[in-house]
Amino acid sequence: MSVDPQGQRASFNGADFEGIIENVICDVLEIPSQKWGEPTGKAFSHSDNILWKNVPYESIYGTKCRSEFVLNYAGRRIRIECKSQQSPGSVDEKLPYLVKNFTEKVPEEETIIITNGSGFRDGALEWLREACMGTKCIVHTSSSFIFYLVNLKNAHSKQAD
């Protein structure tokens, strides 16, 4: 059995990126994270401010899929997917499938795709942004997502005042 170093490296990069995004969300919004369906000492309700990880949904094919996150914050539920491509590969080939799922199948009214890396094919990220225009899906880079979170927190703080 041979090991695919490039595929293995891509998997680690994706997991690293997801971990960074999780930490940023929890730090900026000052909320806990919890793996979906995992028992804990505290029972979280759907109205609690929390970042759910590995959240299931039904795909356009009728199969079970999972997203990296669903953010419950200030009464909003936002589904989030992270796509990192540091070198040429197949991540960008999966973008149309993700867009279709995020605009037509997931139950949340807000969805976000966060992109990272310079390995996407020419035109892939432009296509992604255009495909999401006018839908419930927003595309962010990792840095623009941080500004999004800060604005989300500030808006919630003003509402709480």
Mean pLDDT over all residues of the chain?
Answer: 87
pTM of the model: 0.86
Structure tokens given for 89: 């590969």
Residues 153, 28: Cα–Cα separation, whole Å: 8
Residues 7, 21: Cα–Cα separation, whole Å: 21
- Tens of pLDDT, residues 119-131: 999 999 999 999 9
Lowest mean pLDDT among 4-8, 23-27, 110-114: 4-8
**DSSP collapsed to 3 states, 51-103:** EEEEEEEECCCCCEEEEEEEEEECCEEEEEEEEECCCCCCHHHHHHHHHHHHH
Helix (H, G, I), strand (E, B) or coil at 115: strand
- Tens of pLDDT, residues 42-88: 556 656 899 999 999 999 999 999 999 999 999 999 999 999 988 88
| Domain 5-36+46-160 listed as CATH 3.30.1050 | no
